[in-house]
Amino acid sequence: MSIGFKLYSFFKGNLVHQDSLGNKYYHDKSNPSKRWVVYAVGFGPESLPTQFHNWLHNTSDEIPDIDLEENNQESNVKRRVQKHSVKHKKNVDKGYNSWQPK
């Protein structure tokens, strides 16, 4: 994350919530419908709870009041990452030889 974005969040944003993983949720001081998240170190979009995803995308105007334990939230993130990870075949044999340009 750039220093500029951190400064923008500090001066232009209101901190709405910080979850147990360290993700920080903001909305703009002059335009509350403009919302963003600053992810904790080592986490990304997969670490967002569904309620906050809906809040960020203006599906819901209510600020979620959830406090998940850090271990519970981390296990949910690991499950999501495993669910969406690509399983590579160990056997690369496709049953045919693809054309190779010379």
Write out the residue range of the structural domain in which residue 73 sits: 3-77
Determine, yes or no, domain membership for 82: no
pLDDT in tens, the chain (102 residues): 678 888 988 999 999 988 888 889 999 999 988 999 998 888 888 888 888 888 898 888 887 766 655 557 677 776 766 665 555 555 556 677 778 887
Q: Per the domain annotation, does 73 fall within a domain?
A: yes
Q: Is 34 helix (H, G, I), strand (E, B) or coil?
A: coil
User: Where do runs of H (alpha helix) occur along 13-95?
Assistant: 50-56, 70-84
| In a domain? residue 37 | yes
Residue 96: inside a domain: no
Query: Is 13 in contact with 28 (CB distance < 8 Å)?
Result: yes
Please check whether residue 83 lies inside any domain of the structure.
Answer: no
36 inside domain? yes
Q: What is the reported pTM?
A: 0.67
In a domain, 101, yes or no: no
Number of domains forming the structure of the chain: 1
What is the per-residue pLDDT for 13?
A: 94
